[in-house]
Structure 1
Amino acid sequence: MRWNIRPPFARVALRRSAVRYADHLWDVVPGAWLEGGRFACERPGCPTTSCHPAIDGWERGASTDQSTVEGWWQRRAHAVLLATGHAFDVLEVPNSLGGRVLAAARMHAGVLGPGRLQVRGPVAATPLGRWMFLVRPGDPLRPELENSLDVVRHGTGSWVPAPPTRLPQGAVRWVVPPEEVAWSLPDSYAVQRMIVDSLLTNLDRAPHLPRQLSTARRAA
């Protein structure tokens, strides 16, 4: 009978996380729910089977209102999606690059001390091998990164899946939970500088790998 118990537990965990994000003014969007190996929603004729928003006009519908967010998770274990471009942007990179950038950020923070250079912030990882660095919103990609196949910036009009959302390959998780950095966000260009440095440092040492699948793309 465990199959009757697990879905409500999953829904409660997703709802609690969604409410916590909303409480910190991160715009929440209910995503389609996972059924087997595909995502389903209640929009008639929806052809999308990958992770996607479960509501029409999701950009306008994204909310930080606690009662609204709680209501979305009353019946369904919706994926928790966060709209980008308002409270934060996301810099998405492969996990190998993400690990190097995070190590550099920790080293810089340790050398300079707290408050001297805010380079550490929340970092999430998907089971598809992508790391997502949450940064202050508004800054475009540096010229060195505009044509990089490894770096994706999620700004206005985009969204990302947030922990503890489950994808068919596994769960989205926090590498650096927001609580660890007091929900603060680093400067986007400071993180991008570290990405550029990591790419240049490893350009000749690392073999080229095919680009891994990105997380959520902009909805049509």
Structure 2
Amino acid sequence: MSATFGGRSGRRGKLSQWLLGRRPKETADDGGREALLLAAAAAGLPLAPAAHPAPGYRCSCDRVGCPTPARHPVSFAWQTQSTTDRGQIERWARHQPEANFITATGMVHDVLDVPVEAGREALERLLDSGVEVGPVAESDDGRMLFFTLTRGTPEDEDEWWPCELDCRPETMDEHPGLRWHCRGSYVLVPPARLPGDDGQQVRWVRGPEHALPDPLSLLEMLTDACARHVGSEAEHAGTAWPPRH
């Protein structure tokens, strides 16, 4: 498991490290990668194989000019393919050793996706306030992912809210920089590699052994932190989301 898993003292130590710009790189050989994926599945996160980086900032898929290289599922049936079955995930991991993996949101969990600066600030405040925070991942492309319970279940169909309504707010003042991944969306699950020659990754800050919280318990601090960092979000204004494959 990641070295950031475990008790509060170790967790806060790692948090202080990357706030000081000394964030350790998470490395995973094949065995470590598989263990991390199985831990995510054991926590109830449904997984499916995704594309991986290819030389020259390209994607392993055969799409010319892929708009989301190494960040999308390899199958159009990813929603039905996503699973927590240990045997299936072991087979995928061993037969596709370079593949990233996505987790489908809106089934068991949602993900609150914020700019990394806002996420770091909010995480510090949440932990200092004693709020129960679930798994948190950080991506080297400038995003932080807070994993939460979903707001709807297949048995409660009226509670579903399509992802586009969340991640495309009418005004940036309403939810500046926040994307809420729920039904019909997905995110990369650690460990994942991003395109480029500098070894960019998606890694756990808090591992999947932490219980998923109610998203509303995190939302106020996340939106407040995003509002303080709204200027930096202009850099992401042209990013297409959600990706279509």
Same fold (TM over 0.5): yes
Q: Distance in 2 between matches of 1:132 and 1:95?
A: 9
Residue in structure 2 matched with residue 59 of structure 1 by the alignment: 79
- Where 1:191 maps in the other structure, the secondary structure is helix
Worse-matched range after superposition: 89-98 or 146-155: 146-155
Supply the AA of the counterpart residue of 1:191: L
2:58 equivalent to 1:28: no
Residue in structure 2 matched with residue 103 of structure 1 by the alignment: 124
Deviation, 1:178, is 2.7
Deviation, 1:207, is 7.7
Deviation, 1:163, is 1.3
Cα 1:149–1:198, aligned 2, differ >3 Å: closer, same or farther?
closer
- Where 2:134 maps in the other structure, the secondary structure is coil
Worse-matched range after superposition: 210-219 or 146-155: 210-219
Q: Deviations over 1:53-75 (max 9, x none)?
A: 01231001101111111111223
Whether the 8 Å contact between 1:150 and 1:211 is mirrored in structure 2 is no
Q: Distance in 1 between matches of 2:45 and 2:77?
A: 17
Q: Distance in 2 between matches of 1:215 and 1:174?
A: 24
2:92 equivalent to 1:72: yes
Deviation, 1:197, is 3.2
Whether the 8 Å contact between 2:119 and 2:144 is mirrored in structure 1 is yes
Worse-matched range after superposition: 72-81 or 9-18: 9-18
Find 1:187's aligned residue among 210, 214, 218: 214
* Unmatched 5+ stretches in structure 1: 1-8, 110-116
Deviation, 1:146, is 8.1
Whether the 8 Å contact between 2:192 and 2:202 is mirrored in structure 1 is yes
Q: Distance in 1 between matches of 2:151 and 2:230?
A: 33
Cα 1:171–1:207, aligned 2, differ >3 Å: closer, same or farther?
closer
* Unmatched 5+ stretches in structure 2: 1-27, 153-160
Deviation, 1:11, is 4.1
Residue in structure 2 matched with residue 219 of structure 1 by the alignment: 244
- Where 2:141 maps in the other structure, the secondary structure is coil
Cα 1:101–1:207, aligned 2, differ >3 Å: closer, same or farther?
closer
Whether the 8 Å contact between 2:175 and 2:226 is mirrored in structure 1 is no
Residue in structure 2 matched with residue 121 of structure 1 by the alignment: 134
Deviation, 1:196, is 3.0
Q: Distance in 2 between matches of 1:215 and 1:14?
A: 29
Q: Distance in 1 between matches of 2:230 and 2:243?
A: 30
Q: Distance in 1 between matches of 2:129 and 2:48?
A: 34
Supply the AA of the counterpart residue of 1:35: A
Residue in structure 1 matched with residue 231 of structure 2 by the alignment: 208
Supply the AA of the counterpart residue of 1:84: T
Q: Deviations over 1:166-191 (max 9, x none)?
A: 10240111122233xxx301221111
- Where 2:75 maps in the other structure, the secondary structure is coil
Supply the AA of the counterpart residue of 2:52: W
Cα 1:196–1:122, aligned 2, differ >3 Å: closer, same or farther?
same
Residue in structure 2 matched with residue 39 of structure 1 by the alignment: 59
* Root-mean-square deviation over aligned CA pairs: 2.9
Q: Distance in 2 between matches of 1:145 and 1:87?
A: 28
- Following TM superposition, the consecutive aligned residue runs of length 4 or more in structure 1 with deviations greater than 6 angstroms are 143-146, 213-216
- Where 2:236 maps in the other structure, the secondary structure is coil
Normalised by the length of structure 1, the TM-score is 0.76
Residue in structure 1 matched with residue 7 of structure 2 by the alignment: none
Residue in structure 2 matched with residue 177 of structure 1 by the alignment: 207
Find 2:178's aligned residue among 151, 171, 176: 151
